[in-house]
């Protein structure tokens, strides 16, 4: 899995030199309010996180929300939990929202054994084991009626013993297997501004987020990477949004249509599984169908998304330098 590299910066510089500066904008630093790390102490008043900067402490507010597969009390957070903290507007002192052990499994089901599924997220990422606990299996089954190999699966949950314990569905499963997806109709015209939904993924797999530099990357995985110049095979299909082909290092401008937060984020990875789905986001009643980008966990939170919702309606702009 790639992270933001010098190569991406160079590509941006050269693209700007040829096509003009508006085609390759400088990424906006978005992560001021978002901290990710490992819980080293959680009391009813304060949260201690081990982060790459060292130990950071956060106080709670009366409105602070804690999530660990569902809303929990602050003392339900455990030492060693991977936590994402969204600080309140004032600074990095008071936590507004805390997500612990948040995980997501997006991909195609390749095996099922009782209440355990095996999910293939595509493009060379390791397969994920998903457990459907009795408490949430009904909720999952409403939007995933066919939990059989070949069908698509997308759910948000928590990491537990190396597996994702699904907490809530993040898509409505298409009624056909992935291999029988009907072909998308051809697109007659292209526009530089596209509407759809943005989702999130965890580039560090919930492991040692205080040490792994991938855990802190603010970027997007893009469902329409050009196959040339991309080493790992990105088994993408024709997305249902007419996305322009880009490579790692490109910087689309993304806007959260629910909160109107805007950011320029670099493309750092392939999001093949997002090109397999053509779903709507019920979070704030948008109309745009189809996934346009999959943000890293921290970038998603920084742009105003809620991890448990799994998506927000987004508008993406990619200038092509041709007026």
Partner 1 sequence: MLPEIVEAFREVQLPLLAVLLLLGAASKTTGQAAGSGLAVLVPERLRRPATVGTGLLEVALAVGLLALTGLPGDAVRLLTAVVFAASVVVLVLARRRDPEAGCGCFGGLSRAPIGWRTLTRAGLLSAAALATPGLEPAGWQVALAPTALHGWVLGAELLLLAALSPELREVAARTLHREPCELREVPMRRTVRRLRRSDVWRTNENVMIKAEPDDVWRHGCWRFLRYDGMRHGRRVDVVYAVRIGGRRRTGVRAVLVDRGSGAVVASFGAVTGLELVGPPRRLPRPRQAARRDAERHDAARAAETLRAAREHPARMMPDHSRDADTGQPV
Nearer to partner 1, 198 or 318 (CB): 318
> Where is 169: in which H helix or E strand?
strand 163-169
How far, in Å, CA of 245 to CA of 235, rounded?
14
How far, in Å, CA of 247 to CA of 120, rounded?
23
| Residue among 114, 161, 228, 260 that touches partner 1 (CB under 8 A) | 228
Kindly tell me the sign of the dihedral angle through the C-alpha atoms of 107, 270, 208, 200.
negative
| Residue among 69, 121, 203, 249 that touches partner 1 (CB under 8 A) | 249
Does the protein bind partner 1 through residue 231 (CB under 8 A)?
no
| Residue among 28, 88, 129, 247 that touches partner 1 (CB under 8 A) | 247
Q: What would the two tokens of residue 155 be?
A: 């759910």
How far, in Å, CA of 271 to CA of 318, rounded?
17
Which of the residues 156 through 195 are near partner 1 (CB under 8 A)? 177, 179-180, 182-183, 186-190
Nearer to partner 1, 91 or 323 (CB): 323
Partners of 58 in the beta sheet?
47
Does the protein bind partner 1 through residue 322 (CB under 8 A)?
yes
For residue 284, the 8-state DSSP code is T
Q: Look-up: residue for tokens 């190396």?
A: 162
How far, in Å, CA of 120 to CA of 126, rounded?
7
Q: What would the two tokens of residue 164 be?
A: 């994702």
Comparing CA positions, the residue from 279, 115, 109, 105 lying closest to residue 202 is 105
Q: What would the two tokens of residue 87 be?
A: 């600080």
Nearer to partner 1, 62 or 189 (CB): 189
Nearer to partner 1, 192 or 262 (CB): 192
| Residue among 23, 28, 137, 317 that touches partner 1 (CB under 8 A) | 23
Count of chain residues binding partner 1 (CB under 8 A): 41
Using the contact rule CB under 8 A, the part of the chain among 9-17, 50-58, 67-75, 126-134 near partner 1 is: 9-17
Nearer to partner 1, 23 or 88 (CB): 23
- Give me the least distance between CB of 86 and partner 1, in Å please: 32
Which of the residues 34 through 93 are near partner 1 (CB under 8 A)? none
| Residue among 76, 226, 235, 261 that touches partner 1 (CB under 8 A) | 226
- Give me the least distance between CB of 147 and partner 1, in Å please: 16
Nearer to partner 1, 152 or 156 (CB): 152
Contact 53, 12 (CB under 8 A): no
Q: Is 255 exposed, middle or buried (0-12, 13-18, 19+ CB in 10 A)?
A: buried
Q: Is 317 exposed, middle or buried (0-12, 13-18, 19+ CB in 10 A)?
A: middle
Cα distances (Å, whole numbers) of residue 214 to 203, 219, 320: 6, 10, 29
| Residue among 243, 263, 270, 299 that touches partner 1 (CB under 8 A) | 243
Does the protein bind partner 1 through residue 110 (CB under 8 A)?
no
Nearer to partner 1, 247 or 262 (CB): 247
Binding site for partner 1 (CB under 8 A): 7, 10-11, 13-15, 17-19, 23-24, 150, 177, 179-180, 182-183, 186-190, 224, 226-229, 242-250, 318, 320-323
């Amino acid at each position: 899995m790639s992270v933001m590299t010098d190569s991406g910066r160079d590509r941006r510089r050269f693209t700007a030199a040829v096509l003009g500066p508006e085609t390759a904008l400088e990424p906006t630093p978005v992560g001021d309010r978002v901290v990710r790390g490992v819980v080293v102490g959680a009391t009813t008043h304060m949260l201690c996180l081990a982060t790459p900067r060292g130990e950071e402490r956060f106080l709670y507010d009366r409105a602070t929300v804690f999530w660990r597969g569902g809303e929990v009390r602050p003392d339900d957070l455990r030492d060693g939990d991977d936590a994402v903290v969204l600080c309140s507007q004032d600074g990095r002192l008071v936590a507004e929202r805390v997500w612990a052990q948040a995980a997501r499994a997006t991909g195609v089901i390749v095996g099922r054994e009782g209440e355990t599924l095996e999910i293939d997220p595509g493009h060379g990422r390791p397969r994920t084991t998903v457990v459907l606990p009795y408490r949430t299996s009904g909720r999952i089954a409403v939007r995933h009626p066919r939990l059989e190999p070949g069908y698509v699966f997308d759910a948000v949950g928590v990491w537990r013993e190396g597996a994702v314990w699904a907490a809530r569905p993040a898509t409505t499963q298409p009624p056909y297997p992935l291999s029988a997806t009907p072909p998308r109709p051809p697109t007659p015209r292209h526009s530089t501004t596209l509407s759809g939904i943005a989702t999130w993924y965890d580039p560090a797999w919930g492991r040692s987020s205080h040490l792994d530099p991938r855990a802190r990357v603010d970027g997007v995985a893009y469902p329409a990477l050009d196959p040339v110049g991309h080493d790992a095979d990105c088994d993408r299909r024709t997305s249902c949004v007419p996305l322009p082909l880009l490579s790692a290092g490109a910087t689309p401008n993304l806007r959260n249509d629910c909160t109107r937060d805007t950011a320029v984020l670099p493309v750092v990875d392939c999001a093949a599984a997002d090109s397999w789905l053509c779903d709507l986001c019920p979070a704030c009643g948008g109309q745009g169908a189809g996934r346009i980008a999959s943000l890293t966990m921290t970038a998603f939170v920084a742009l105003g998304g809620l991890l448990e919702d799994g998506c927000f309606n987004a508008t993406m702009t990619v200038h092509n330098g041709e007026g």
